[in-house]
Amino acid sequence: MRLTKKTHACVRLEKDGLTLVIDPGGFSEPDAAVGADALLVTHEHPDHFHEGRLRAALEADPAVGLWTLAAVADRLSPAFPGRVHTVGHGDTFTAAGFDVQVHGELHAVIHPDLPRITNVGYLVDGGRIFHPGDALTVPDHPVETLLAPVHAPWNKVAEIIEYVREVRPQRVYDIHDALLTDLARPIYDTLLGNLSGAEHLRLAPGGDADL
């Protein structure tokens, strides 16, 4: 499996000539969803969900499907009947040759005055990789590669360190990092590398790695 990091929370996974794209939102590249064989979206916030880009990908190829929670699916399923699949915690499915398990139900707390929206994470190919979306969900399954949302209005670095420790992956890659300046990245690299208990790795947008 090849992992390609796109800007912020979007990643592309490639295996056996097929491509799975997770969270091609408004912070990621305009072509982040182009060429995908299947699309996954964790929740409705615009840095994870860009309706126009998803519509373009679905219109470009009638074989492309989208798997997501109801808040997103309800906005797209009328235009693409049979191709937009609503999922929730505990569901399993196969998309573009990838086996996917759904974990989690709610977005992390941003502030007590704000209502929490739904959020799901995707465990791919039996734990090869886990994308939690905007939550610190711990799957009930071993994880080889964790995509950690390192910087957001709803978290702090201590919480991310404890999250990685609890998941206990072999390695962790940064995602959700568009708001993190280059000046601050070495701080996160040092803290996660020294304290999380996992190999900490980072890819620049467009960079890739074989898992």
Question: Whole-model pTM?
Answer: 0.97
- Residue 210 falls inside a structural domain: no
Q: What is the 3-state secondary structure (H, E, C) of the chain?
A: CEEEECCCCCEEEEECCEEEEECCCCCCCCCCCCCCCEEEECCCCCCCCCHHHHHHHHHHCCCCEEEECHHHHHHHCCCCCCCEEECCCCCEEEECCEEEEEECCECCCCCCCCCCCECCEEEEHHHCEEECCCCCCCCCCCCCEEEEECCCCCCCHHHHHHHHHHHCCCEEEEECCCCCCCCCHHHHHHHHHHHCCCEEECCCCCCEEEC
- Residue 211 falls inside a structural domain: no
Over its length of 211 residues, how does the chain's per-residue pLDDT go in tens digits? 999 999 999 999 999 999 999 999 999 999 999 999 999 999 999 999 999 999 999 999 999 999 999 999 999 999 999 999 999 999 999 999 999 999 999 999 999 999 999 999 999 999 999 999 999 999 999 999 999 999 999 999 999 999 999 999 999 999 999 999 999 999 999 999 999 999 999 999 999 999 9
CATH of the domain at 140: 3.60.15.10
- Residue 17 falls inside a structural domain: yes
**What is the residue range of 156's domain?**
2-205
- Count the domains in the chain: 1
- Residue 10 falls inside a structural domain: yes
